């Protein structure tokens, strides 16, 4: 076993492609090694802006020898057939032997194949791996035919300290690499991974992505702290800048305080999206006019010119942002509504203006159900999309909704209306907070329900892994809004009301049940994340999600107790007997039990135990006292067990047999008041 090292060195690889490329390199190379029967272990990969690296600590030096016994034609086959077999096996007639089996006597050959050197195998498959590498986007350059993410400069490939020789598009593999583009561009001779890692570090290249991230975090936090400030956390940006540099150097700059009159999110968005800068806040969590950025070079002037250059670029960027803000303040959100009538939301669903009319109606309806201010909810819906035609949102699309809030506040709208405009798209994902104010909830629900009804109405439903309109996310957002805010509404009523607001498609073609089933499937996923079993949810049914989840939690807790387990087992045993007999008789045994026909102690005790339980359980369920409902059911455990263990249900006496089946039917109907126990797996 020997060490293997591969480095593919190129121009800058886009940061968003680096992580996947690193994993792809490991996958593609190790698959080929496995196919070639080359043992390998301790595989690791590294990626920087300019290089993809694969290191395998232990890789076989050669393939194992292979011995194969191959059967040929019959011993008396024509010479032509035997000659063909000899050629295929690469042996002579003297190497063959005969063996008798059930079908006759056949010729056999032992083929010994010596394993090839690993370097020879690798040199054959690596060019194909590189030439067919699965980049999302690639390019050609010069006169070559190779497509790569950026122009390829060199390939380092060694096994056991020796070069594995091959060629890709005129580039010969070697044991050479280069250091940092500016601070150490000279060639480095490599003989091992330790040599590679240490040599590059001396040449100002940190190949370990996690180490670069740690360096950036540590240096940036210290620099901010030295200035009495804190970094606004941004994990995604941190990962991105770690992919933009090979030797991260943290620097701090500033911009004019006049820019702080612009909403802080607009400033941080401009700095983050366009410049890859970290924003800084003071100890009161207020945005300051300082920023941190990551350079890829050390300079003799300690970065003075680099800082000045970045400050000039940011000044121009923020000047544009402030210009758009000042211009947008000259109009009101109401002024923009007319422009929305000219913007198509979806060709079959009308314009954005038409969608606003639907949202206004639907938000008002939802507001009446959840106790929100109806007029504020309708006004928030009316103004909700106006910021889409502002210069600020055109410059920073990710700020839609949030900029609407700032515009609403600047023109004196009620704070609840402004907040609802900002919250209309929330929650956007599982980690996003849910709006909690009533007006915000009304608009956020309307926003998502309208989208779902519309796209289901034109048959644009999610299929498999494809969900171009994020309908799954919208449905989970609705479920979270309802449950986390304890909203007591019947979702099916709201959906049917939303259908009535549409004029742009044939409502007869919309199968509302399809949409409701879609919601039901999403609810199961939500419940699973809350550790509620799918069969427990399947045993329930209610469009009041709050009640359903509370009941499911109580039911699951009950089923996990000894009483619950045994009662469920008894229920299944009783219903299996009942179902079989009902099938034979072609009728249900759901009539009233005849008390005078009860003769055995256990059936008398079961009859007594069942009296009034269904009524008390129903009352507890209605009062949403689910723990009490489960307690009532648990009282049936012992009588049911005793009855099933000691009483012969299928008595030879017909009247007695039917009466006992009615007792089983009473068990079924009583327990089904709580849930469909037949759907619980146990």
pLDDT digits (tens, 9 = 90+) for 597-633: 888 888 889 888 888 888 888 898 888 888 888 888 8
Tens digits of residue pLDDT in 177-193: 999 999 999 999 999 99
**Region 57-83: what's the mean pLDDT?**
81
**Region 3-29: what's the mean pLDDT?**
95
> What local confidence, expressed as pLDDT, does residue 504 receive?
62
Q: List for the chain the helix, strand, coil content (%; round to 5).
A: 55, 15, 30
Contact 47, 19 (CB under 8 A): yes
- Helix ranges (H only) for 501-612 are 512-529, 534-538, 545-559, 562-585, 601-610
Task: Catalogue the long-range contacts made by 604-609 (C-beta closer than 8 Å, 24 or more residues apart).
Answer: 605/639, 605/642, 605/643, 606/639, 606/640, 606/642, 606/643, 606/663, 606/667, 607/663, 608/639, 609/635, 609/636, 609/639
Which one is predicted more confidently, 58 or 103? 58
Domain 2-62+117-202 has CATH 3.30.70: yes
Is 80 exceeded by the pLDDT of residue 508? no
In sequence order, what DSSP letters do the residues of 635-658 get, joined into one string? TTHHHHHHHHHH--SS-SSHHHHH
Is 80 exceeded by the pLDDT of residue 196? yes
Tens digits of residue pLDDT in 404-441: 999 999 999 999 999 999 999 999 888 889 999 999 99
Tens digits of residue pLDDT in 267-296: 999 999 889 999 999 999 999 999 999 999
Question: If one looks up domain 334-530 in CATH, what number appears?
Answer: 1.10.3210
Question: If one looks up domain 556-679 in CATH, what number appears?
Answer: 1.10.730
Question: Using CA atoms in the order 537, 539, 542, 546, what is the torsion angle rounded to 10 degrees?
Answer: -40
Contact 514, 461 (CB under 8 A): yes
**Region 297-316: what's the mean pLDDT?**
93
Work out the pLDDT band at 175, boundaries 50, 70, 90.
very high
Which one is predicted more confidently, 505 or 594? 594
Work out the pLDDT band at 569, boundaries 50, 70, 90.
confident
**What are the start and end residues of each CATH 3.30.70 domain in the chain?**
2-62+117-202
**What are the start and end residues of each CATH 1.10.730 domain in the chain?**
556-679
**What are the start and end residues of each CATH 1.10.3210 domain in the chain?**
334-530
Count of H-run helices and E-run strands, the chain: 26, 18
Is 80 exceeded by the pLDDT of residue 324? yes
């Amino acid at each position: 076993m020997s060490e293997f090292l591969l480095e593919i060195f190129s121009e800058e690889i886009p940061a968003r492609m680096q992580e996947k490329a690193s994993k792809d390199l490991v996958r593609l190379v190790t698959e080929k090694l496995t196919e070639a029967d080359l043992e390998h272990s301790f595989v690791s990969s590294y990626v920087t802006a300019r290089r993809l690296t694969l290191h395998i600590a232990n890789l076989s030096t050669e393939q194992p020898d292979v011995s194969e016994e191959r059967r040929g034609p019959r011993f008396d086959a024509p010479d032509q057939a035997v000659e063909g077999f000899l050629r295929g096996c690469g042996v002579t007639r003297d190497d063959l032997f005969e063996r008798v089996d059930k079908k006759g006597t056949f010729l056999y050959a032992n083929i010994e194949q010596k394993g090839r050197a690993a370097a020879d195998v690798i040199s054959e498959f690596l060019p194909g791996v590189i030439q067919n590498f699965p980049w999302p986007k690639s390019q050609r350059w010069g006169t070559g035919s190779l497509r790569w993410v950026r122009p390829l400069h060199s390939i380092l490939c060694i096994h056991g300290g020796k070069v594995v020789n091959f060629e890709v598009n005129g580039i010969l593999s070697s044991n050479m690499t280069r250091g940092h583009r500016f601070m150490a561009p000279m060639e480095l001779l490599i003989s091992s991974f330790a040599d590679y890692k240490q040599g590059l570090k001396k040449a100002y290249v940190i190949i370990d992505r996690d180490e670069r991230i740690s360096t950036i975090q540590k240096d940036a936090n210290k620099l901010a702290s030295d200035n009495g400030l804190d970094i606004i956390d941004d994990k995604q940006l941190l990962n991105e800048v770690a992919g933009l540099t090979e030797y991260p150097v943290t620097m701090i700059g500033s911009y004019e305080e006049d820019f702080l009159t612009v909403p802080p999110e607009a400033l941080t968005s401009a700095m983050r999206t366009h410049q890859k800068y970290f924003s800084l806040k003071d100890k009161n969590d207020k945005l300051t006019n300082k920023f941190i950025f990551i350079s890829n070079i050390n300079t003799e002037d300690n970065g003075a010119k680099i800082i000045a250059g970045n400050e000039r670029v940011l000044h121009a960027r923020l000047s544009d942002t402030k210009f758009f803000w000042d211009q947008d303040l000259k109009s009101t959100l109401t002024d923009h509504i007319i422009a929305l009538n000219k913007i198509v939301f979806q060709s079959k669903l009308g314009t954005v203006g038409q969608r606003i009319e639907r949202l206004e109606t639907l938000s008002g309806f939802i507001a009446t159900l959840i106790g929100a201010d109806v007029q504020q909810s309708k006004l928030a819906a009316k103004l909700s999309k106006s910021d889409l035609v502002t210069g600020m949102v055109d410059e920073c699309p990710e700020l839609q909704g949030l900029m609407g809030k700032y515009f609403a506040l600047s023109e004196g709208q009620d704070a609840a209306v402004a907040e609802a405009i900002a919250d209309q798209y929330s929650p956007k994902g599982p980690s996003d907070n849910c709006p909690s104010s009533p007006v915000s909830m009304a608009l956020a629900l309307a926003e998502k329900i309208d989208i779902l009804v519309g796209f289901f109405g034109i048959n644009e439903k999610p299929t498999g892994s494809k969900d171009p309109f994020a309908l799954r996310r919208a449905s989970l957002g609705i479920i979270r809004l309802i449950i986390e805010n304890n909203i007591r509404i019947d979702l099916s009523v709201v959906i049917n009301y939303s259908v009535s607001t549409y004029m742009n498609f044939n409502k007869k073609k919309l199968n509302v049940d399809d949409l409701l089933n879609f919601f039901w499937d999403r609810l199961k996923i939500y419940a699973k994340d809350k550790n509620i079993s799918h069969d427990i949810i399947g045993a329930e049914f209610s469009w009041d999600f709050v009640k359903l989840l509370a009941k499911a939690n109580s039911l699951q807790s009950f089923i996990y107790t000894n009483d619950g387990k045994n009662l469920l087992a008894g229920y299944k045993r009783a219903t299996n007997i009942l179902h079989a007999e009902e099938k034979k008789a072609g009728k249900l045994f759901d009539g009233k039990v005849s008390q005078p026909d009860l003769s055995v102690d256990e059936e008398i005790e079961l009859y007594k135990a069942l009296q009034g339980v269904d009524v008390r359980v129903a009352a507890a369920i209605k009062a949403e006292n689910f723990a009490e409902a489960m307690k009532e059911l648990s009282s049936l455990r012992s009588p049911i067990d005793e009855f099933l263990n000691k009483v012969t249900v299928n008595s030879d006496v017909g009247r007695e047999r039917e009466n006992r089946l009615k007792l089983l039917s009473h068990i079924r109907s009583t327990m089904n008041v709580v849930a469909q126990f037949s759907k619980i797996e146990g």
